Structure 1
């Protein structure tokens, strides 16, 4: 069974992607997959084509702010950003439940310069948020929205 699943990977004209919102995999023609990604990237309201790699500039700017924050407090420290980093990369999961099987764009940010900053901020901020005002999942959140009239501010961390 495992060998059968590996077989399509040997075909250059076939791309294997995870189906959106399910554990299944989809085989899609590589040209079709790339054209769907190009269509997503071509949306200038969401993406801007850069003629340079901004990673060093982002690291420099973030490190300036980190040094300023670290100098201002003895209690909270952020790690300086170092190492070989890269821009995020785009891939798409196939929406098998929609006509034409469009892609759900996903930008992987694991090797980007600021990847760890939000995680650190989240760990600092969550201790100040009372559990009585928190939800554990998006399903619980939607249930609360549907269940009763709400007032006030809604924030997501």
Structure 2
């Protein structure tokens, strides 16, 4: 009986984990959009070497009360594979190291000067005009509108 309960508990955990993954999946895309809008890939690229968190915060020109949240954003984007962390020497005389952020191939194709720049596509696909129709799927299925876009915006995509 305990084995059966253990198996059910394991199945429940797997089911919850699967569901949570899908519920929170949008956070990665929206965090990437935020990083692009803040100019983080360009800042790191223009820095010419991996950038420390204080250097990044200074370059971002954000409200001082938001500075503490940049680490969370970067940690999520590192976990998602858009940036990597490395250790850099704080200065030449000391052996003390600090964590710094660098670009990955995925973030390099978001750079403005890159021939394969996907920044405009990313911003377009995550624009509220194109994201909001996904909130209207149920009413679209039940209604007479031709597309979910029309359900959300009251007109067709090309109108």
TM tier, shorter chain? under 0.3
**TM-score, L = length of structure 2:** 0.21
Larger % of helix: which? Answer: 2
**TM-score, L = length of structure 1:** 0.21
